Structure 1
Amino acid sequence: MTHFIDKIYSRIKGFLFTVRCPYCGKVIEPNKKCCDKCKKEFPKFPLVRYATGGYICTSPFPYDGIFRRAVLNFKFHNCGAYAELLSYEMVRAIKDVYSNKEFDIVTCVPMHKDTLKERGFNQAELLAQECAALLGMEYGNLLVKTKKNKTQHSIKAAERAKNVIGVYSPIDKNLIKGKRILIIDDIITTGSTLGECARILNKCKCGEICCCTLCTSLLL
């Protein structure tokens, strides 16, 4: 019955909304997550990196080509609706790399309130919420960004670790203590941002911390 309802919903959605491939912008069928051409460029296996502090991070895509274009459109060209389509591949990477792990809560790298006001949404939060829903897990905001620092992509790699120190704080330590946490962000480059978020969560005596991003920048 649930499958039948989902099919009906997809057909209705197709009549009401135009669905586009998040990687190239081509119109696709409502039940698809991307076009066939872009699908052929997907890596066969997830990419694995480590954030600062040794926290493992998995990503379905490299930050290059059609995947870089998808991220830029998602973040800067009012394509927040892409979150649902992009999150499916993140969940694939999560299930593959973390098949032997269990998480209590999914959270995201927070955005400063001024930046959030300018952009209108936190792309990491949208991805995290979609991933949590697909995984059947709880989503929660565990951290707040209290200081508006320089954007990481605007400074040299060697300066990024220092740039994020002291900008994040826990919202409620009781919500963090003992929890096994999956942190979501859009991109991992040096791993400084995810590493600092993990460090703050770890200070609140959480359980295991793992990370997932949509893309990983292989070359700094």
Structure 2
Amino acid sequence: MGNGIIKYIRKLIKYVLKIIYYSEEECVICGKRLFEGLYLCDSCRNKIKSCEESKKIEVFNKEVRIYSALYYSSAVKKLVLALKYKSDFICGDVLASYMIKIIHDKKIKFDIITYVPLSFENKKKRGYNQSKYLAKCIGEKFDKKVVDLIKKSRKTRDQIGLNEEERWINLKDSFSFRKGKKVENKKILLVDDVVTTGATAHYCILELLKNNAGEIIFLTAAKSKI
């Protein structure tokens, strides 16, 4: 009963936000007037390219598959930045819909969902974690728990403007596993908004595998460079 009420309240909040932000049904990317309630006009939708490829990386002597729903085009960048910095959760819903599609298309199976954490300072400043929002959208769709498994244990520089080597150095030892969480033999879907060098993925996956997670699948809304 309790979980059902919580899900209902979350859906209600989403609908209210949709009314507040897009009562005139405009494209969330270009602002063009819409008449079908799909949040994207045909022109912007055609600029969004699905990412069919995936990549395997090795972490802690285990192979991990990395999937991204979309390529990081200018249109997708607008969606990501609007979710990340402007609290535009409708853009988050659009990104999550593509992530849900790739889970279906690639037949990705998982037991629980977790997400890349923010530092305390960034979360306090922003008020939310965009990766957690995407994870929750996926969790609701597949009726899977979203579990807070990793924390940002060390403040780091903003990754923007850093080269690949600097990004890896910047993030080293900056994540840690939350004590008391149980992940033994669990198949975990780890969610983030964008993958660039793979440094964030590597260090978060490392923490999960060091604590006996069974298998990790890393899924992002968009792929930049990796």
Question: Same fold judged by TM-score > 0.5?
Answer: yes
Q: Residues 25 and 46 of structure 1: is their aligned pair in 2 closer, same or farther, counting only changes over 3 Å?
A: farther
Residues 1:80 and 2:89 are matched in the alignment: yes
Query: What does residue range 10-29 of structure 1 map to in structure 2 within 5 Å?
Result: 16-17=19-20, 18=22, 19-28=25-34
Instruction: Tell me, yes or no, if the aligned pair for 1:179 and 1:207 is still in contact at 8 Å.
Output: yes
Higher deviation after alignment, 113-122 or 158-167: 158-167
Contact residue 168 and residue 200 of structure 1 kept, 8 A: yes
Counterpart pick for 1:205 among 209, 212, 218 = 212
2:50/2:70 contact within 8 Å kept? no
Partner of 1:83: helix, strand, or coil?
A: helix
Q: 1:185 to 1:85 in 2, by over 3 A?
A: same
Instruction: Mark the CA change 1:141 to 1:174 in structure 2 (over 3 Å): closer, same or farther.
Output: closer
1:45–1:75 Cα change, 3 Å: closer
From the superposition, tell whether residues 106 and 80 of structure 1 become closer, same or farther in structure 2 (CA, over 3 Å): same
Structure 1 position 56 matched with structure 2 position 62: no
Aligned partner of 2:6 in structure 1 is none
What residue in structure 2 maps to residue 42 of structure 1?
Answer: 48
Letter in 2 for 1:39: R
> Could you tell me how far apart the structure 1 residues matched to 2:221 and 2:28 are?
12
Q: Which has the higher contact order (CA 8 A, sep 6+)?
A: 1
SS of alignment partner, residue 87 of structure 2: coil
Q: Following TM superposition, by how much is the alpha carbon of 1:183 offset from its aligned partner in structure 2, in angstroms?
A: 0.5
Contact 1:84 1:127 in 2 (8 A): yes
Aligned counterparts, 1:89-168, within 5 A: 89-97=98-106, 99=107, 101-168=108-175
1:137-178 CA distance string (max 9 Å, x none): 111111111111112223111122222121111113542222
What is the SS of the residue equivalent to 2:104?
helix
Cα distance in 2, alignment partners of residues 158 and 52 from structure 1: 18
Change beyond 3 A, Cα 1:143–1:48: same
Alpha-carbon separation, structure 1, partners of 2:64 and 2:203: 10
How many percent identity over aligned positions? Answer: 26
Distance 2:207 2:198 in 1: 14
Deviation of 1:135 after TM superposition, in Å, equals 1.9
2:197 counterpart residue number: 190
2-side partners of 1:15 and 1:181: how far apart?
30
- Cα distance in structure 2, aligned partners of 1:31 and 1:20: 8
Amino acid at match of 1:111: L
The alignment's TM-score, normalised by the length of structure 1, stands at 0.83
Task: Assess if the C-alpha contact under 8 Å between 1:52 and 1:191 holds in 2.
Answer: no
**How many Å separate the matches in 1 of 2:32 and 2:125?**
28
Write the deviation string for residues 71-107 of structure 1: whole angstroms up to 9, x where unpaired: 122212232342222201011112222x1x4211011
Structure 1 residue 40, shift from structure 2 partner: 2.0
**1:52-78 deviations in Å (ceiling 9; x for gaps):** 635221112111221112112221223
Which residue in the other structure is 1:71 paired with?
A: 80
What's the secondary structure of 2:207's corresponding residue? helix
Kept in 1, the 8 Å contact 2:93–2:137? The answer is yes
